[in-house]
Chains A and B, each alone.
Chain A
Amino acid sequence: MKRLITLLLICSFTAVSAQIDRSVMPKSGPEPEINLGSPKEFTLPNGLTVLVVEDKKLPKVAFYLNIDNPPMAEGDKTGVASLTSSLLGQGSKNVPKDEFYEEVDFMGARINVYSGGAFASGLSKYTDRILELFSDAILNPDFKEEGLEDEKKKLKENIANNAKNVSNIAGRVSRALAYGKKHPRGEFATEESVDRVTLADVRSFYNNSFSPGSAYLIAVGDIEYRDIKKKITNHFSKWAKSSPLDLSYTQPEDAQYRQINFVDMPNAVQSDIRVQNLVNFTLNDEDYFPALLANYILGGGGEARLFQELREAKGYTYGAYSRATPSKYGPTTFQASASVRNEVTDSAVVAFLDVIDNFRNNPVSEEELKRAKAKYSGNFIMSLEDEETIADLALNVKINDLDKDFYKTYLENVNKVSVEDIQRVAQKYLKPEKFRIVVVGKGSEVLNGLENINYQGKKIPVKYFDSEATAIERPVYEVSAPEGMDGATVLNNYIEAIGGRSAIEAIKTIQATSTANIQGMPLEVEMKKGNGKFMLDMKMQGNSMSKQVYNGSEAFVVARGQKNVLEGEQAKKLAESAAIIPELDWLENAPELKGMEMVDGKPAYVLEIAEGELYYYDQETGLKVKQESTVKMGPNTMKNIQTFGDYRAVEGVMMPFSMSQNIGPQTIDLETQEVLVNQPMEESDFN
């Protein structure tokens, strides 16, 4: 009755409290008591362990069979486990497939058998029949040649269907590279390996994996222990004992140095990034609780650091997360991952590394740790709402050889973790120097950026793989420039394409008015240049937001009435903008042809005018289609990309009427409304 009294106390306490003050976050009430029941249990002579949870809340029943096998390599017949799964549950030697399906559906029940276990559920009034069909399907599978052929066909079709599925390929390649393609955790089925599977392989796979000695059966629902024990004993005692598997594999190893492993998927509109290294710990380790909380703080959800940085601060992705899974069967991976849009692929890789580096090198705050503990405590308490959880926890204790009080002391152990523990496990398990960064994406758009990441003063080596994790040569996207082509020819072609030198030289001044839309607000851009001067004025609703000027001697920016004089590199750049067509000047000292790249699916020549400043000219039309430069903003460098289109003739010279500017996550589309040439310019424009 203690709880009743506590509750009464709370009631009377709040009843006297005054009006609420909503500017203050309400305080939590006293922590609710938890009630960690334990299931009843028995073991059959063949070794099958059975856990029973009586839960009479609803008239339903469920059975879960869990077989605790070590990971098993399928080798050149990978796919046999999946095929066995498909063939299991298709009736039994006693009940043909069609009758089996019909009867299960008729009861409104579900029965599934797969390579690692089985599941059945339904109304408790059908408990006996469900259990009968369930055990029969598990113990007497009816493997048939025809069924196998059908399933092979379907599996191969599924493999083919996933050939363009970016996240599916990313999962498969990241596992294959982490563990090796011969390791059970790294191997994957191909059409060829599926073809090799015979009915004998399926039988032998079934016999090896279905052994009662390593099996656990959970029965939960509207059942009586004594009754269900009798029935389970009756059905499952027939299960013949067999010796458990003893398997060993070559231990996987981390990459020798940090690297990007790139897979090209031309259809990708997002890059799938997975940053990983191997980890090896179990639920029994003293590191378990610190690792659990550490991963939560780093990437366990919407409030974790990766999500906050990559989604909330930068808007690169819909979600960024990390995970590290304990296993008693050898190494698994720590993995941090996100799907990000193509343009920010390289920036996102850097963001991952930065967040992880910061997490390793600096202690987390007490506040952060406190929050993590609260989250785990709360979720643990809430998970106990479901009676099945109680069986799951008991099963975990058995399978992982945990202390019998593991879950009774769970909250206590969560609360014991210190800031130092978090940093210790972060430094032990996160190995940035050996990170394998698997990126699956559209090479023609993202590879260049990845190859040029400069992280802590060094480039990150990029290795290339196909979608089956086989190392390949770097994919080639640049079309190679034709023999004899050089920078001067590219510039001359451009000058010809827009109207020729004499037409250009006849233009002394240009005035252009353009409009754009920024977050729903119309923006007006006025540009004037010529006679060695330049002015660009951005206005919103008639008011100047920012005006850049080079008046022939001084470069400055006026924003909100404040004049800011520019110096050095910035001043020089603004002064250069005064040239009507700068290509004429570049011809005097023509840059080398840097190569060719695809711009919007069309080959373009690339010229590097200054360091990091690239100009792209369409091979076919000769017109300038893109310009790329690097802008420093505080500690970050960002790419500023402009693309040009809709060329129209103005006084015999072709000029782009549409321009799109991309800085960081922002894209601004400018549409030019009017271009006037050789108009007199007012001195006042350049004040």
Chain B
Amino acid sequence: MKKITLVLACLFSGYTALAQQVDFEEYDLDNGLHVILHQDNSAPVVTTSVMYHVGGKDREEGRTGFAHFFEHLLFEGTENIEKGKWFEIVSSHGGNNNANTSNDRTYYYEVFPSNNLELGLWMESERMLHPIIKQEGVDTQNEVVKEERRLRVDNAPYGQLLNAVCEALFENHPYKDPNIGYMKDLDAASLEEFQAYFKKYYVPNNAVLVVAGDIDMDKTKKMIKEYFGPVPKGAPVVRNYPKEAPIEQTIRTKHYDSNIQNPALITAYRTPGFGSREAYVLNMISTYLSNGRSSVLYKKLVDDQKQALQVSAFNLEQEDYGIYLVFALPLGETSLETLEEEIEEEMKKLRTELISERDFKKLQNQFESNYINSNSSVQGIANSLARYYMLYGDTNLINDQIDIYRSITREEIQDVAIKYLLPGKKAVIEYLPEENQ
């Protein structure tokens, strides 16, 4: 039986030995909706997803948190899907669904056994065409979002960390405010404001639809046209957010958290946005510094010198500006000052010396390995296709991104460190237990 399935899979998808190559087809509907299809018939599963180019940063001053709020609101029902039935419809057809919101985009998706492809398309097109946005739903979700904030931010150890970083690094750009928003802004927002927000951002020309998995291409295209074709095109979305002046001297701030006992040190840098070559280099630097137990900072601070309980470097990629941060928890009597000096010493080495040939080879191996793992689930592929199209402007990156990493040199790593990871350009955040205030 298995053999037959495999033969069929080959027949339908042009299955090749170079399996990590992701084949896809993309096109636009007349209303501007971008469509990406990826066929993989090896298992009877299909993902339908829509990414909208709207996130935490898309808001007016005093009205933060709208995109995340919509992540909740757009499950409340549509003209043809009764309030409260969304989850029930999905699960009663054996599927799963969810959504997530970043500062730049919102992603909604369903995963179904492939006999429910049409249902998934229907639901996403309903959400785009005519969701019900009423006061009742706004009120319920307002409470739920407050609980989400308490759970994830106010009651969680180190839960306010990212907010503390954003406050320190941004003064003018909307990235300064939490993605989930300020509760007073949501309380004060009127129904009309929510409705206007939907009209502005949740339009086909500001979205990408991805259908991936066990599908028939022609049938799927026809259904997409039927379900999404009637959605009216919206006005073009124009963004013009305030720019940040360069950081000229080290920013030092303190942040207090009542849920922690141990302080933490965060050093953070403002970096360029998505798709810039420098952002890829910074990803490599993060891996070099803290990925794996032989990485520079882990080995030095956790293993050899025993000064830290934990240390991690992240490159948080975003559309307008990225955030590069190093997070460390001191061990025992180690002071935050000492941690800062020790971390700065490694940053300095990055700026003044080339990393070793062996470390460079190791980095390349690690990125090859990540690449092969990155496209191992259809659900993951769907998300990557949407992201590369919408935020990087090049769907082909799903296959080609590895070439960018392959082309990065040791000299470039040094150059980027010199350009962005300077002591005078960083923010140092002391994240402290509340009782020390």
Which residues of chain B are near A341, meaning CB under 8 Å?
146-147, 150
CB <8 Å contact, A106 and B155: no
B394 contacts A by Cβ under 8 Å: no
Report whether A520 and B191 are in contact in the complex, using a CB–CB cutoff of 8 Å: yes
Closest CB of chain A to B179's CB: distance in Å? 15
Q: A312: which of B4, B45, B84, B152 is its contact (CB, 8 Å)?
A: B84
Instruction: Report which of B8, B90, B372 forms a contact with A59, defined as CB distance below 8 A.
Output: B372
Q: What residues make up the interface of B, taking CB atoms closer than 8 Å to A?
A: 1-2, 4-5, 8, 11, 19-20, 42-45, 79-81, 84, 87-96, 111-119, 121-122, 125-126, 129, 135, 138-140, 142-144, 146-148, 150-152, 154-155, 157, 187-191, 193, 214, 216, 218-219, 223, 226-227, 258-262, 291-295, 299, 303, 306, 309, 329, 331-332, 358, 361-362, 365-370, 372-373, 375-378, 434
Q: A375 with B147: in contact, given A107-B365, A520-B190 (CB under 8 Å)? A: no
Q: Which of A16-24, A44-52, A587-595 contacts the other chain?
A: A16-24
Q: Which residue of B lies closest to A155 (CB)?
A: B309
Contact B91 A160 (CB under 8 A): no
Query: Inter-chain contact count A-B, CB under 8 Å?
Result: 257
B23 CB, min distance to chain A CBs, angstroms: 14
Contacts of A519 in B (CB 8 A): 135, 138-139, 142, 187, 190-191
- A553 CA to B378 CA in the complex, in Å? 73
Write the A259-302 contact mask toward B (1 if CB under 8 angstroms, else 0).
Answer: 00000000111100000000000000000000000000000011
Select which of A11, A56, A106, A340 is within 8 A of B147 by beta carbon: A340
For residue B95, which residues in chain A have a CB less than 8 angstroms away from its CB?
378, 382
Min CB–CB distance A339 → chain B (angstroms): 5
In the bound assembly, the distance between CA atoms of A13 and B403 in angstroms comes to 44
Which one of A27-35, A71-79, A479-487 contacts B? A27-35
A98 within 8 A of B: yes
Residue of A30, A267, A386 near B258 (CB, 8 A) is A267
Partner of A317, one of B42, B147, B216, B261: B147
Minimal beta-carbon separation of A261 from chain B (angstroms) = 20
Contact A58 B87 (CB under 8 A): no
Can you identify 29 A-B contacts, CB atoms within 8 angstroms? A22-B126, A22-B227, A35-B5, A58-B20, A58-B372, A59-B372, A97-B303, A102-B362, A107-B369, A108-B365, A123-B369, A153-B306, A153-B331, A164-B261, A165-B157, A268-B155, A269-B155, A311-B147, A313-B140, A317-B151, A371-B92, A379-B94, A381-B45, A382-B95, A382-B111, A385-B42, A386-B377, A519-B138, A519-B191
Which of chain A's residues have a CB closer than 8 A to the CB of B219? 11, 14
Stretch at the interface among A1-9, A206-214, A527-535, A643-651: A1-9
Q: Which of A53-87 contact B (CB under 8 A)?
A: 56-60
Question: Which chain B residue has the least Cβ–Cβ distance from A378?
Answer: B94
A517 at the interface (CB under 8 A from B): yes
- The chain A residues found within 8 Å of chain B, CB to CB, are 1-4, 7, 11, 14, 19-20, 22-35, 37, 56-60, 97-98, 101-102, 104-109, 122-123, 150, 153-154, 157-158, 160-167, 267-270, 301-303, 308, 311-313, 315-318, 339-341, 370-371, 374-379, 381-382, 384-386, 517, 519-521, 665
Across-interface contacts of B292 in A (CB, < 8 A) = 101, 104-105
In the assembled complex, the Cα of A67 lies from the Cα of B425 at a distance in Å of 50
With a 10 A CB-CB cut-off, give which of A165, A167, A316, A340 has the most chain B CB atoms: A165
Q: A interface, by DSSP: helix, strand, loop or mixed?
A: mixed
Nearest to A33 among chain B residues (CB) is B44
In angstroms, how far is the closest chain B Cβ from the Cβ of A32?
3
List A contacts of B139 (CB < 8 A).
315, 519
Q: Hey, which chain B residues are within 8 Å of A29, CB to CB? A: 114-118
Residue of A nearest to B119 (CB): A26
For A270, the chain B residues whose CB sits under 8 A away are 147, 150-151, 154-155
- Ranked nearest first, the 5 interchain pairs of A and B with the lowest CB-CB distance are A378-B94, A315-B143, A108-B369, A32-B44, A520-B190
* B122-A106 in contact (CB<8A): no
The answer to whether residues A165 and B122 also contact, given A32-B44, A101-B293, A378-B95 and a CB cut-off of 8 A, is no
From B91, B111, B366, give the contact of A374 (CB < 8 A). Answer: B91
Cα(A312)–Cα(B87), bound, Å: 11
A316 to B144, CA, bound (A): 7
Chain A residues, CB < 8 A from B151: 270, 317-318, 339
Cβ contact of A101, chosen from B112, B121, B259, B294, cutoff 8 A: B294
Chain A CB within 10 A, most for which of B121, B154, B377: B154
Nearest B-chain residue to A382, judged by Cβ: B45
Closest beta carbon of chain B to A61's beta carbon, Å: 11
Question: Are A22's CB and B80's CB within 8 A?
Answer: yes
Cα A270 to Cα B143 with chains together (Å): 13
Bound form: Cα–Cα A29–B116 in Å: 6
Docked Cα-Cα span, A623 to B20, in Å, equals: 72
Bound together, the chains give a CA A376 to CA B93 distance in angstroms of 9
Beyond A57-B376, A58-B20, A160-B262, 6 additional contacts (C-beta under 8 Å) are A28-B119, A153-B306, A162-B261, A167-B155, A303-B87, A371-B91
Chain A residues with CB under 8 A of B88: 303, 371
Among B4, B144, B434, which residue has its beta carbon within 8 angstroms of that of A315? B144
Q: Which of A7, A56, A123, A166 contacts B155 (CB 8 A)?
A: A166
Partner of A123, one of B96, B122, B135, B372: B372
Interface centre among B140, B361, B434 (most CB of A within 10 A): B140
Cβ-defined partner of B8 (8 Å) among A4, A105, A313, A370: A4
Per the bound structure, the CA–CA distance linking A375 and B135 in Å amounts to 31
Q: Across the interface, which residues of B come within 8 angstroms of A37, CB to CB?
A: 2
Beta-carbon contact of A106 and B144 below 8 Å? no
Q: Which residues of chain A are within 8 angstroms of B295 by Cβ–Cβ distance?
A: 105
With A26-B119, A106-B362 already in contact, the answer to whether A122 and B262 are too (CB < 8 A) is no
Q: Is the CB of B366 within 8 A of A1?
A: no
B216 contacts A375, C-beta separation under 8 Å: no
Would A123 and B309 be within 8 Å (CB), given that A31-B113, A268-B155, A374-B93 are in contact? no
- A181 to B219, alpha carbons, bound, how many Å? 60
Q: Which of B19, B119, B259 contacts A164 (CB 8 A)?
A: B259
Docked CA distance A656–B87 (Å):
46
Q: How far is the CA of A34 from the CA of B96 in the complex (A)?
A: 18
Closest A residue by C-beta to B378: A385
> Considering the chains assembled together, what is the distance between the CA atoms of A33 and B43 in angstroms?
9
Distance of B323 from chain A, by nearest CB (Å): 24
Q: How far is the CB of A1 from chain B (nearest CB, A)?
A: 7
Contact yes or no, A520 B299, CB < 8 A: no
Minimum CB–CB distance from A91 to chain B (whole Å) comes to: 10
Which residues of A sit under 8 angstroms from B84, Cβ to Cβ?
A: 308, 312
B125: nearest residue on chain A (CB-CB)?
A: A22
Q: Is B43 a contact of A108 with CB atoms below 8 Å?
A: no
Cross-chain contact A161 with B157 (CB below 8 angstroms)? yes
Whether B93 and A28, one on each chain, are in contact in the complex, defined by CB atoms closer than 8 angstroms, is yes
Please determine whether A382 and B2 come into contact, CB atoms closer than 8 angstroms. no
Within 8 Å CB of A267, what residues of B?
Answer: 258-259, 434
Residue of A nearest to B302 (CB): A154
Contacts of A2 in B (CB 8 A): 4
Residues of B contacting A57 in the complex (Cβ-Cβ under 8 angstroms):
19, 42, 376
Give Cα A109 to B368, complex, Å.
11
A19, A311, A313 — which one has the most chain B CB atoms within 10 A of its CB?
A: A311
Determine if A34 and B44 form an interchain contact, defined as CB atoms under 8 angstroms apart.
Answer: yes
Contact A385 B377 (CB under 8 A): yes
Q: How far is the CB of A105 from chain B (nearest CB, A)?
A: 4
Contacts of A301 in B (CB 8 A): 87, 91
If the complex has contacts A58-B20, A381-B94, A384-B43, are A32 and B2 also in contact, measured as CB distance less than 8 A? no
CB-based contact B94/A385 at 8 Å: no
Say how far B307's CB is from chain A's closest CB, in angstroms. Answer: 11
A14: chain B residues within 8 A (beta carbon): 219
A313–B76 Cα distance when bound, in Å, is: 12
Chain A residues in 8 Å Cβ range of B193: 520
Q: Is the CB of B94 within 8 A of A32?
A: no
